[in-house]
Amino acid sequence: MVINAPHMRSAIIQASNPIGFSAMNVLIVDDDRASREGLRELFELRPNITVIGEAIDGEEAVRLTDVLHPDLVVMDVQMPRMDGLEATRQIKQHTPAIRVILLTMYREYRAAALRCGADAFLVKGDGIGPLLAALSPSG
């Protein structure tokens, strides 16, 4: 999800701080380094978002949410040790106010993602529009 198209960067920056959209601390969770870097790059274009940490699996995500207290966790579903579904379940059980957006390449996880308490479920191949929409407080 690395953003190399200048026209896309411009659109992201223009939509970066809609009225009523307050600052947000984000934890990125994905076992794929390129995906984490792409998400970080996307979020760094938005002045109201601060990436406060990264994790490579669900166990680390659960631990870091207890330490870092993010407003939002953007997490892959399929990861080693603990998947994003179980991590979401544990995060929401411990701290329900933390918003969790689950990302995956596979649409068939949608029902399971919502059952475990995810606030949003997005398919990685759908582009950045749905992710940007899900970042809003009402998303």
pLDDT at 134: 83
Which DSSP letter does residue 128 get? S
Domain ranges of the chain: 22-135
* Mean residue pLDDT across the chain: 84
Could you report the per-residue pLDDT of 13-59, keeping only the tens digit for each?
334 444 345 789 999 999 999 999 999 999 998 889 999 999 999 99
pLDDT at 126: 82
For the segment 120-138, the average pLDDT, to the nearest whole number, is: 80
Quick one: CATH architecture of 22-135? 3-Layer(aba) Sandwich (3.40)
13-40 as b/e: b if 16+ CB within 10 A: eebeeeeebeebebbbbbbeeebbebbb
- pLDDT of residue 10 exceeding 50: no
